[in-house]
Amino acid sequence: MKMDSEQLNKVITGCQAGRNKDFAVLVDIYGRKCYGYFYRLTGDREVSNDLLSELFLKLVEKIGSFRGGSFDTWLFTIAMNLFRDHLRGKYRRQKLMDEKSKLVAREESSLEPAGPDTDALQEALGQLDPETAELISLRYFGELSFKELARMRNEPIGTTLSRVHRGLKRLKELMADKV
């Protein structure tokens, strides 16, 4: 579902006024992209489902604070923060499990459904450093420009550009190795 910026602004204004049907439009526009972003970073459908729901509920809370500019950048910044919170939570759970018992940790990690869901690209992304994987996913699913990405990450545009370039090049090599 595509719409021009004027139409999108109307939808956002409707959301800020608390109109349910405008939120539904936002879900239709961004739901798939955000799901893809979460999925490519987690490799887990269930977690991606949860993160997507959480993202839109957060959107309801925060939409009033959107003050113009690029809505995509704004939305994907929330998505990025949610994913980072998820990672931190996962890390804490893992640490707790390690402390309790190595046996339990092994059992729990074997329950994680990453295995059946993963494809070649997922595996290759998993071999990149997490920041680069995140950046590449943001670039692709958020359709964000290098300028927007650099602003999001508070770094010079040249740094973002070379990081994405290196990451994609490495990704291509990893995929070539798998074939």
Partner 1 sequence: MNMHKENLDDLLRQFHDERTAREIKQDLAEGQALFDENPAPAASPELLDSVKSRIQMKLRTRRYHRSLRYIRNAAAAAAVILVLALIPLFRSPESQTGGKTHVAVSESVLNWDDDGEYGLDSNMQLIEAQLDDISDTLLSLQLGESLSEEPAEITDLEMDLVDTSELFWKG
Which residues form the interface with partner 1 (CB under 8 A)?
18, 20, 23-24, 27-28, 31-32, 35-36, 39-40, 45, 48-49, 52-53, 56-57, 60, 117, 119-121, 136, 139-141, 143-148, 157-158, 161, 164-165, 167-169, 171-172, 175
CB atoms under 10 Å from CB of 169, counted, come to 10
Comparison of 90 and 165: residue with beta carbon closer to partner 1: 165
Provide the minimum distance between the beta carbon of 175 and partner 1 in the complex, in angstroms, as a whole number.
6
Comparison of 87 and 174: residue with beta carbon closer to partner 1: 174
Provide the minimum distance between the beta carbon of 99 and partner 1 in the complex, in angstroms, as a whole number.
34
CA–CA separation, 29 and 3 (whole Å): 8
| Residues whose CB is less than 8 angstroms from the CB of residue 26 and which lie 6 or more positions away in sequence, other chains included | 11, 12, 15, 56, 59
Provide the minimum distance between the beta carbon of 103 and partner 1 in the complex, in angstroms, as a whole number.
32
Torsion, Cα 46 106 79 24, to 10 degrees, reads 10
Provide the minimum distance between the beta carbon of 170 and partner 1 in the complex, in angstroms, as a whole number.
9
CA–CA separation, 102 and 153 (whole Å): 36
